[in-house]
Amino acid sequence: MKSRRILLAALLAGLLSACNALPSPATAAAPAAPPSLLLISLDGVHPDMLGRGDTPHLDRLAAEGVHAEWMRPAYPALTFPNHYTLVTGLRPDRHGLVHNAMYDEDLGWFALKDRAAVGDTRWWEGEPIWVTAERAGLPTATMFWPGSEAPVQGVRPTRWSPFQEGLALDIRIGRVLGWLSEPDATRPRLATLYFEHPDAAGHGYGPQSPQLREALRQVDGALGDLLAGLDARGLRDRVNLVIVSDHGMAEVAPGHAIAVEDMVADEDAQLVSTGQVIGFRPRPGREVEAAATLLGPHEHYDCWTRETLPARWHYGTHPRVPPIVCQMHLGWDAIPRAHLARRPDHARGSHGYDPDRPEMRAIFIASGPAFRAATTLPGFDNVDVYPLLAHLVGVPPAEHDGDPTTLQSALRDAEPIPH
C-alpha cells in the first residue's frame, strides 16, 4: 500500500516536472532530479586525528574531494552551540544556543539531557536549513542533529528522531541509505547523520588515546559501509556529502581540574554552567563582591563581564549569556567539587577552550557531484558552511553571519553561492 502511494507520488512528480520543462521535442526525458545533500557530523574530531591510519575512508574522501586544513568553531567551542551554528550560519550569540547549559529569565534552565528543553521551540532561534527547505516543499530528514527535535518556527524535518546515545552505527547508516534510495518525490533533499562516539572517547581518555583511535576506526568503518551502500545503489553521483565536526579536543592532564565552588562564594554569584566556559549570575545586591572576586586574570582562567568579552568571540549580547563569563585556560576544567574526587588518574579530554586555539579546530570534508576533485582549502570559520548548504539544497539562505565566498572554490560550478 505504502509503496504504491510512493510510486504514485513519483509518477505525479515526474509528470509535473515534465509539464514545467521547456518544450523541447528532441528530449522527452524529464530533467534529472537534483542531488540530495547529506550533512554528516563527527563530534569532537580534530584534523590531526585524520590521516593516522584510523580513517581510510575519510582520508580518501578528503584526498579525492575537497577538504579544509581546518575549520574554526564558533564561541563557545561546545556541541549544541556549534551544531546549531552549522545549520543556521548564525553565531551562538545570535541563535540563542549560547552554551550546552543555559539559564533564561523566561524559560528557566536548559541542559542537553533535558528532553523537554531540547524539544522546546522557544530555545531555538534563527532558521535552520531544514526549516527553509521544508517551507520550499523540499523534504528533509535528520538522523540526529541538535535543534531537529524542536519545531522551529513551527517546522520540523519531515523525518527526525529524538537523540538516542549509543544507537548502533549500522542502524543509523541503514536509515540514511533507505532515505537516499527513495523515489525523487520523497527522497530527502537534505539529510543529516550524527556520531557522538569520537567525542565520548576523547573526553574519557584524551585526543591521543587508543580509545579515541578505536572510536575513529568504528565511525570510519560505518562511513565506509555508507559509501559502499551508495555505490551499490548507483547513488554516489546523486548525493553531495559534507562532513564536519563541531570542535576538536584538548588533552586534560590528571589533576588539571579545579572546583567551581572555589571560584566565587555561592552567596555572591549563582553558577550557570561548569566545564570550560563558566557562567555566573551575581546575586542581587552582591554584584560588587562577585565582580571583585571573579573579574580579571586568574591562575587557570580569565573572567569578563558579558559586555567586555574579547570582540573576536562575538559573544555577550544575547540575554542568555550570563553577566560574568569565565574562560578556562587550555587543558583545565572547572567542575563541581563532588566530581573532582571521581576523576580518573589518567589523561582525559575537553573542548570549550578559546576557538582560536589550534586544539579546538574542527574538520571539513566535501565530496560529490557539486564538488571539485583534489582541492585543499585554507582554514575558515564554521559560519561559512551555511551559505554553501543553502546553495546545495537550492533554497535562498536566511540571514546569517557567514561569508559565501569562502567555499566558492570548493564547487565545480562557477555559479556564485548567494549571500
Active site residues: 79
Minimum CB–partner distance for residue 407 and Zn ion (Å): 22
Residue 194 or 280: the one with the smaller Cβ distance to Zn ion is 194
**195 is a site residue for ligand AMP (CB under 6 A):** no
Pick from 90, 200, 222, 250 the residue near ligand AMP by CB under 6 A. 200
Among 75, 84, 124, 144, binds ligand AMP (CB under 6 A): 144
Report 256-315 residues binding ligand AMP (CB under 6 A). none
Binds Zn ion (CB under 5 A): choice among 246, 251, 268, 384: 246
Lookup: cell for 355: 576557538
Helix axes 210-232, 197-205, angle to 10 degrees: 170
Quick check: bond before 151 cis, omega within 30? no
User: Which does residue 165 touch among ligand AMP, Zn ion, none (CB within 5 to 8 A, set by kind)?
Assistant: ligand AMP
- Residue 163 within binding range of ligand AMP, rule CB under 6 A: yes
134 counts as binding Zn ion under rule CB under 5 A: no
Query: How far apart (Å, rounded) are the C-alpha atoms in residues 63 and 259?
Result: 44
Give me 237's grid cell.
553521483
Of 204 and 394, which CB lies nearer to ligand AMP in the complex structure?
204
Does the footprint of ligand AMP cover residue 78 (CB under 6 A)?
yes
Using the contact rule CB under 5 A, the part of the chain among 27-35, 207-215, 241-249, 361-369 near Zn ion is: 241-249
Task: Figure out which of the listed residues 97, 118, 185, 363 binds ligand AMP, where binding follows CB under 6 A.
Answer: 118
Select the residue interacting with Zn ion from 38, 43, 80, 142 (CB under 5 A).
43
Q: Which of residues 24-63 bind ligand AMP (CB under 6 A)?
A: 43
Nearer to ligand AMP, 242 or 290 (CB): 242
Residues contributing to the site for Zn ion (CB under 5 A): 43-44, 79, 199, 246
Summarize as ranges the residues that interact with ligand AMP (CB under 6 A): 43, 78-79, 100, 112, 118, 144, 146, 163, 165, 196, 199-200
